[in-house]
Structure 1
Amino acid sequence: MGLSEIAAGLELTTEQVDRGVATVDDTDVDRDARLREYESDLPCTAAAAGTVLDRYESGASVGEAGEAAALAPVTAAKLLHRCGFDGVTPLAPTARQVLRDWLDGRLSRADALELTGADDAEFALAAYVETHDPIPELAETVRRDAAAPLAEDALVSKRDALAETMSTASDLR
């Protein structure tokens, strides 16, 4: 089969539709306004929360970020958890299960403390993390500010956002 046989039936057109440049822009979310909106659900003021988030996102430790906002490290960790940051719980998965048993009333606090090996501050922080879910609207805002994907997969997010501009195999017939 030659090239001319392969190209048989193909047509060229001189007309092209200018569709412009497709963009996805999530920068219009005002993090400070969102923090003020959910301030009553946070363990600190919105202003302190903004400082902690700025410092933490620029690479400071939880303690350093809290110190910059005049907050205890445990309060900064609580804030980060409420804003959707993972990994602020001081307990390993097995110890978290022991904590859940205590929260459900199946263990005494003394037994749970002994089994987890945590000190009082670690235990209190872990209990806060277990009993307070992240605030989805704040987590979304923080992810957008950090230029992280809007969903679990950046490729899927972009595909969904630009779905109208994409063609499918059925469009090629």
Structure 2
Amino acid sequence: MGLADIAAETAVTTSRQEVRGVATVDDTGVNLDARLRDHADALPCAPEAAATVVERYVDGDSVGEAGRAAAVAPVTAAKVLHRAGVEGVTPLAPTARTVLRDWLSGNLSRADALELTGADEAEFALAAYVETHDPVAELVDATRRDAARPLGGDALVHKRDALGETMSAPTDRFSSSVRN
């Protein structure tokens, strides 16, 4: 069977086009420095540095790269992101976090907890900070780019969500049937 035979058996059953506007996600008016200054007491560093960390992290930098850009230690950058509601900045696995909680509640010595978690001093300290400091709702709101999208997470998902109105499902492009 050649291409001509295949093409002869293909028929378009629906041909419709929807007019869709251009999807825009514009956060150029967001003054993150000013938003963070209002909550400076909840930040582990200066609001300007925190803004740099958040912006660089959202743009795809690692926690360490975002910290270096803001001239703060990577641990401080992770603390900023945690307070701003970014999940997953703790360096410990779930079982190790349980051990850490046992230490925090006084059921385990620090030396034993360090040994059982397998963490170094910096990782242990960051994990303890994450366990003892909740995200700050005002910081979470202040660092959101728009009301529909939380900070952090998968950049591909954010891009898909931002451009969702411009994309169509595979079945929307065309509908064809092949006769057998």
TM-score range, shorter chain: 0.5 to 0.7
Deviation string 1:124-170 (CA, Å, 9 cap, x unpaired) is 000000000001111123233485159xxx9xxxxxxxxxxxxxxxx
Pairwise CA distance, 1:37: 1.1
Q: Distance in 1 between matches of 2:38 and 2:122?
A: 29
Q: Select between 141-150 and 79-88 the one with higher mean Cα deviation.
A: 141-150
For the residue of structure 1 that corresponds to 2:108, the secondary structure is coil
- Structure 1: gaps spanning 5 or more residues: 1-24, 155-173
The answer for the alignment partner of 1:130 in structure 2 is: 131
- Distance, in Å, in 2 between the alignment partners of 1:141 and 1:132 is 18
Q: Is the 8 A contact 1:31 1:145 kept in 2?
A: no
Matches of 1:62 and 1:145, distance apart in 2: 22
Report the more deviating stretch, 108-117 or 138-147: 138-147
Between 1 and 2, higher relative CO (CA 8 Å, sep ≥ 6) is seen in 2
**Does the C-alpha gap of structure 1 residues 27 and 85 become closer, same or farther in structure 2, counting only changes over 3 Å?**
same
Name the counterpart of 2:34. 33
Deviates more, 1:138-147 or 1:89-98: 138-147
Partner of 2:99: 98
Structure 2 segments unaligned to the other structure (5+ residues): 1-25, 152-160, 162-180
The amino acid that maps onto 1:112 is: A
Q: 1:5 maps to what in 2?
A: none
Change (3 A) 1:50 1:145: farther
The structure carrying a bigger strand percent of its residues is 2
Secondary structure, counterpart of 1:134 in structure 2: coil
Cα distance change on mapping 1:31 and 1:59 into 2, 3 Å: same
TM-score normalised by length of structure 1 = 0.67
Task: Give the TM-score taking structure 2 as reference length.
Answer: 0.64
1-structure distance, mates of 2:71, 2:29: 29
Moved more, 118-127 or 27-36: 27-36
Are 1:78 and 1:129, in contact at CA under 8 Å, matched by a contact in 2?
yes
Aligned to 1:11: none
What secondary structure sits across from 2:106 in the alignment?
Answer: coil
Percent identity, please.
Answer: 72
Write out the 4+ residue segments of structure 1 that deviate beyond 4 Å after TM superposition.
25-30
Mapped to 2, the partners of 1:42 and 1:63 lie a distance apart of 17
Amino acid at match of 1:70: A
Please say if residues 29 and 141 of structure 1, whose CA atoms lie closer than 8 Å, have aligned partners that are also in contact.
no
2:16 is aligned to none
For residue 31 of structure 1, report the CA deviation from its aligned partner: 2.9
Residue 64 of structure 2: aligned partner: 63
Secondary structure in 2 aligned to 1:143? coil
Aligned residue pairs total 127
Give the C-alpha shift of residue 62 in structure 1: 0.3
2: CA distance, partners of 1:119 / 1:28: 41
The one-letter code of the counterpart of 1:59 is G
Amino acid at match of 1:102: W
